[in-house]
Amino acid sequence: MKAQPFLIFVRSVLPFLLFFLRNVNAAEEPVLKEAKRSRMDVDLILVNGNVYTVNEKQPHAEAIAVRDQRIVFVGSNEDARKFR
């Protein structure tokens, strides 16, 4: 008979848990779409430059993209043109 209180608890909590998990996923969807869209939106693109990056794997670059006073991209002119 000890299993009955547990089953009552599970039956009462499970619908709320499923509802919560379903809505959390639905709430994240617009945020993810906005993040994907805004990732390409920048305030300034500088191309045809000679940028020293202090990165051993990529010591020099041609372009920089800036958004909200932060550098969000350093790389080639071709890749920088993908930003808007």
Q: pLDDT, tens digit, for every residue of 13-41?
A: 777 766 666 655 444 445 444 445 455 78
Quick one: 18 and 28 in the same domain? yes
What pTM value is reported for the model? 0.52
Does residue 51 sit in the same domain as residue 15?
no
d(CA 14, CA 47): 55
Residues 17 and 56 placed together within one structural domain of the fold:
no
Q: Are residues 67 and 80 in the same domain?
A: yes
Q: What is the mean pLDDT of the chain?
A: 76
User: What's the number of domains the chain is made of?
Assistant: 2
